[in-house]
A = this chain, B = another copy of it.
Amino acid sequence: MAPINKRVTLADVARLAGVSKQTVSRVVNGSQAVTGETRIRVEACIEQLGFRPSLLARQLTTGRSFTLGVVANSGIGYLMSGKAYMDMVREADRMGFSLLVKEVPGHSLEEVTASFDYLIERQVEGVIWAGPEVGDSHAWLDDYDPAQLPMPMVVVNAGLRPGLDTVAFDNLHAGRIATRHLASLGRKHIGHISGPMDRWVSRQRVEGWRQELVALGLEGVHLLVESDWEAGSGGPCLRALQELCPQLDAVFVSSDRTAQGVLFEAHRQGLRVPEDLAVMGIDDLPEAQYFIPPLTSMTQDTPHMAVVALRLLVRRICKLRGEPYPAACATPEDPSLLHTLVVRQSTQGGPF
């Protein structure tokens, strides 16, 4: 067995079989015009040479590309972590699709239009808009009738817009759950270190924290400081909160990374966590349980979000084409995803 074939062309097969290229093409495309001995001989030559008909030709014949576009608009986006992206690649492959990633450098209407032109040129059958919602990055969607989009599209982790398919975590809910947890431990001065405030996700979490403080009758809606979601901002943000409120006894941090920086700063200051300061994050990174002390956090299953978005997109494509759904996306899934609270020593205390 020749393990890997050099590119074999239609002409190679035709030469070996002693027929025209046209005839080989007909056999490949399953035309009934070639029968009997000729078909058998051509098929034997295809097998012998290991000829693979070009998918491009099939794409041109069927008018389908079997390709989905993934647009990352600024920064990397939720789906471009290794695991989430590979889960998507695998799931797409299972449903017969390849993924094509297009990075949009900015989010002006010109840039968005250019990215769609790029995707139309490549005849992608649907688009996953995977970049995070930052500033007015998604404003073009507000001005736009989704029915006018050139192909089905699913937006990931952005604000809901009427008529537009969106798969997202309920970050407002996450903010409420986190704050309720800290309050349940008797904390009275619960600060929040948000993510960048130009992010929709960050603002949703802030809103959840604020709503829950109000619902519980707690003071402190001014105890808000903005981080860049990196570990390095944990120290400066904690110090800023302490200046706003010397009695600060709990902090809900909008990422585990920044929470790690907060724990580092608390250690530096000689504070006891959680006795002096309860700290919790969000993401539930695998290593959060090895922070000192282990970090209370909230899981956010982004690979699941990626796969749910992909399945929803394929459903839309099938519906448009009047075709049955592949088994993998036969059942509709809830596009609103929830975080799960994971309580550890950084809020509840105890030995580790």
Contact = CB atoms under 8 A, between A and B. Distances in A.
B65 A6 contact: no
Given A80-B82, A82-B80, A144 B268 contact: no
Interface in A122-151: 122-123, 140, 143-144, 148-151
A352 B231 CA distance: 15
A56 interface: yes
A113 B3 CA distance: 6
A330 to B, nearest CB: 23
B103 A89 contact: yes
Interface string A261-299: 101100110000000000000000011011110000000
Contacts of A55: 121-123
A3 B109 contact: yes
Query: For the complex formed by this chain, how many copies does it contain in all?
Result: 2
Given A230-B286, A232-B290, A292-B264, A52 B121 contact: yes
Interface string A139-176: 01001100011110000000000000000000000000
A191 interface: no
Nearest to A6: B150
A230 B140 CA distance: 42
A319 to B, nearest CB: 17
Interface residues of A, number: 66
Contacts of A72: 86, 89
A53 interface: yes
Nearest to A120: B52
B54 A56 contact: no
Interface stretch (A25-33, A40-48, A93-101, A212-220): A93-101
A325 interface: no
B60 A56 contact: yes
A69 to B, nearest CB: 10
Given A3-B144, A140-B3, A264-B290, A98 B100 contact: yes
A289 B230 CA distance: 12
A7 interface: yes
Contacts of A83: 76
Contacts of A260: 287, 290
Given A6-B148, A80-B86, A93 B103 contact: yes
A327 interface: no
Contacts of A22: none
Given A86-B72, A117-B52, A121-B55, A352 B268 contact: yes
- Among A53, A76, A267, A290, residue most surrounded by chain B Cβ atoms (within 10 Å): A290
B100 A287 contact: no
Interface string A56-100: 110110000100000010001100111101100110010000111
Which 3 A-B pairs give the minimum distances between C-beta atoms? A231-B287, A76-B82, A80-B82
Interface of A: 3-7, 52-57, 59-60, 65, 72, 76-77, 80-83, 85-86, 89-90, 93, 98-103, 109, 112-113, 116-117, 120-123, 140, 143-144, 148-151, 230-232, 234, 257, 260-261, 263-264, 267-268, 286-287, 289-292, 352
